[in-house]
Amino acid sequence: MIAFRPLCRGDFALLSVWLEREHVARWWPDPHDPASLEAHYGPSIDALDPTEVFVTLVEDRPVGMIQRYLVADYPEWERAVRSAGVTEPAVGIDYLIGEPDLIGRGLGPRVISAFVAETWARYPEVPQLVVAVQQENRHSWRALEKCGFERVFAGMIDSDDPSDAGPSFVYGTWRP
């Protein structure tokens, strides 16, 4: 059973552990000390930032983090994904599985599919979901392909975010 609950400050210690793990740190190079986590995620928790951040639960066990946002709420990112070929209004998602014992077991596509279904319900007016992923992060982009995302771009994304550095893919899926 997969579920999502809103991230709270009590999750910061666990989130920090996940962000330190080698299989996550390579793709999420964000600082993860308490002050940095507060600065980055506190505004979302307090509903001052439009990104919705969740803890992913599998059979009530916290196993990762997933977030979504209207691309239009972030003009620089919207410009970047538009230059990568995204032409429709979109919701962006980002995710990580923090528990190493669950990597390579098919959990990623199940989590993404469940979150996509919830996101369509949350944003009924938006026709597309998009994800930017590093080309070297094969586990991530294969998970997207397994749940029906299509590659819409390959190359360098014009972004200042360190997690977008290097050759990337942009994947999209459209409302059924």
Place of tokens 């793709």: 27
pTM over 0.85: yes
CATH of the domain at 59: 3.40.630.30
CA–CA dist 53, 75 (Å, integer):
19
Strands (E), the chain: 2-6, 52-58, 61-70, 90-97, 128-134, 150-156, 167-174
What's the pLDDT tens digit per position in 106-149?
999 999 999 999 999 999 999 999 999 999 999 999 999 999 99
**Burial of residue 71 (number of CB atoms within 10 Å: 0-12, 13-18, 19+):** buried
- Domains held by the chain: number: 1
pLDDT of residue 25: 92
21 secondary structure, DSSP code: S
- Average per-residue pLDDT in the chain? 94
Residue 60's CB: how many other CB atoms inside 10 A? Answer: 8
CA–CA dist 71, 67 (Å, integer):
12
Query: Is residue 102 predicted with pLDDT exceeding 90?
Result: yes
pLDDT of residue 61: 97
Worst-scoring range by mean pLDDT, 78-92, 133-147, 151-165? 151-165
pLDDT of residue 83: 86
pLDDT of residue 158: 81
**pLDDT band at residue 85 using 50, 70 and 90 as cut-offs:** confident
Residue 41's CB: how many other CB atoms inside 10 A? Answer: 22
* Closest C-alpha among 147, 65, 54 to residue 109: 147
Phi/psi at 81 (5° precision): -75, -30
Q: Print the domain residue range for 32.
A: 2-174
